[in-house]
Structure 1
Amino acid sequence: MPILCHSDEIAEGKSKGFQLNETFLFAVKKRNQIYIYQNSCPHLGIQLEWQPDEFLDIDASMIQCSSHGALFRIEDGMCLLGPCLGQSLIPVEFRINNAMIEVQL
């Protein structure tokens, strides 16, 4: 499994984008839990971030698409508002091994 980063590189209440070969991913840490998704909006297939590592809304309570403002629940990637309502971001399987995040691509 490829190593994404050290788990401490993702700050609480923040997001961080990654590229592994041709795959774009992002991670969010909420309540000390890490969530990782493919960086692709289910509506248009475009990358989600506003600026580098900026995937969250102003309150850091939801993932927000920079194109149409769709809002996704951090915990499961479900779209709760926007043109992809009812669709979900694609989760990425991972494990933490000696504080290093390893992803299954």
Structure 2
Amino acid sequence: MRRLCPAEALPEGAARGFDNPADPEGYGVVVVRRDGLLRAYRNRCPHTGVPLEWLPDAFLDPEGEHLQCATHAALFRIGDGHCIAGPCAGRGLQPLPVEERDGWVVMGECVSA
């Protein structure tokens, strides 16, 4: 397990990006807290392979309801990473293991496919 941040640094409705040294292509990870649950995805749009954010930690659409690709405006459901609008509709983000443990947001050992 790898500590990403203290749990209080990722409040309800927030999304943050982190490095993922285990990713052989150098993609990071985006972690979102929604409805008290944590979700983590590889920070890579399935359409062209670009990172999702255009500014640090700017992963959510203006309403805060979906993850959004800043390049193509594709929208992804937070709960499962499935793309519901945009050029990659029907595809999804790659989920990564994440949990809250002892006051920290931690990610399991993982590599990308």
- Indicate whether the TM-score tops 0.5: yes
List per-residue Cα deviations over 1:67-102 (Å, max 9, x = no partner). Answer: 110000000000000111110101111232202122
| Residue of structure 2 in register with 1:18 after alignment | 18
Q: Give 5+ residue unaligned stretches, structure 2.
A: none
Give the counterpart of 1:66 among 63, 70, 74.
70
Instruction: Note if 1:95 corresponds to 2:99.
Output: yes
Letter in 2 for 1:2: R
CA–CA distance in structure 2, aligned partners of residues 23 and 77 of structure 1:
16
C-alpha RMSD of matched pairs (Å): 1.2
Query: Percent same amino acid among aligned pairs?
Result: 37
Q: Secondary structure at the match of 2:8?
A: helix
List runs of 5+ in structure 1 lacking aligned partners. none
Runs of 4+ in 1 over 2 A off after TM superposition: 20-23
- What is the aligned residue count? 105
